[in-house]
Chain A
Amino acid sequence: AQSVTQLDSQVPVFEEAPVELRCNYSSSVSVYLFWYVQYPNQGLQLLLKYLSGSTLVESINGFEAEFNKSQTSFHLRKPSVHISDTAEYFCAVAGSTDKLIFGTGTRLQVFP
């Protein structure tokens, strides 16, 4: 069975500071890894994904995540956050089937 752990339920940070949102997964098979973002009163949007190839993946708005197989992690990072990054972030894993297994989410709150 697969599972995802997001240890931090909330991460407060000041604007322009760096941030890391942690995600660890467990799986007995090869996995695909995802980060989804949910802005207030909006639906889930794909932020970035790892399917294969380069272990470092990037989004168009400055976020990046690195797949670390030995540590079973897929942490999300951004070197300098904006107020507009305030949202709920969900890490998810998919295996041989397409269904996504989500973590419980991390609320990123960016303060001015």
Chain B
Amino acid sequence: GAGVSQSPRYKVAKRGQDVALRCDPISGHVSLFWYQQALGQGPEFLTYFQNEAQLDKSGLPSDRFFAERPEGSVSTLKIQRTQQEDSAVYLCASSADVQETQYFGPGTRLLVL
């Protein structure tokens, strides 16, 4: 079956531009996670959804970051007024239920110039 997909795979943005990153989880997966992976670092947690409810957004670095999952399936991570420090790979993962294995997408590589 299809895995987690993310689009776009690559995004170049000018500083100050808004961007939207999309995640399509595995069909039927209840939980969805966003992580940020800076160059040479491990992924860092951003936010977590269970169905459409955003249960944890403690990892979002600023109020410029916003995530939603309105119908409990596809999720969008939006970054407003991008800054150079936002350059990273943004990873999405989904799991079938609470405390089940997380399956990761290929990531979106964001470069802010």
Assess whether B91 is interfacial by the CB under 8 Å rule. Answer: yes
Contact with B along A66-93 (1 / 0, CB 8 A): 0000000000000000000000001010
B25, CB-defined interface residue at 8 Å: no
- A45 at the B interface (CB under 8 A): yes
Inter-chain contacts of B41 with A (CB < 8 A): 104-105
Residues of A within 8 A of B98 (CB): 98
Chain A, Cβ-Cβ closest to B89: A43
The closest CB in chain A to the CB of B31 belongs to A98
Number of interface residues of A (CB under 8 A): 23
Counting chain A CB atoms within 10 Å of each CB, which of B33, B102, B105 scores highest? B102
B16, CB-defined interface residue at 8 Å: no
Q: Across the A-B interface, how many residue pairs have beta carbons closer than 8 Å?
A: 56
Give complex CA distance A103, B42 in Å. Answer: 6
* 8 Å CB contact of B105 from A43, A92, A98, A100: A43
A43 close to B106 (CB less than 8 A):
yes
In chain B between 19 and 71, which residues have their CB closer than 8 angstroms to a CB of chain A?
A: 31, 33, 35, 40-45, 48, 56, 59
Bound-complex Cα distance A46 to B102 (A): 8
Selected contact of B104 from candidates A4, A45, A99, A103, CB within 8 Å: A45
Closest Cβ of chain A to B61, distance in Å, is 15
A98 interface neighbour in B35, B42, B95, Cβ under 8 Å = B95
Are A105 and B42 closer than 8 Å at their CB atoms?
yes
* B33 CB contact (under 8 Å) in A36, A42, A99, A103: A99
Residues of B participating in the A interface, judged by any CB pair closer than 8 Å = 4, 31, 33, 35, 40-45, 48, 56, 59, 91, 93, 95, 98-99, 101-107
Binding site for B on A (CB under 8 A): 4, 6, 32, 36, 42-46, 49, 51, 90, 92, 94, 97-105
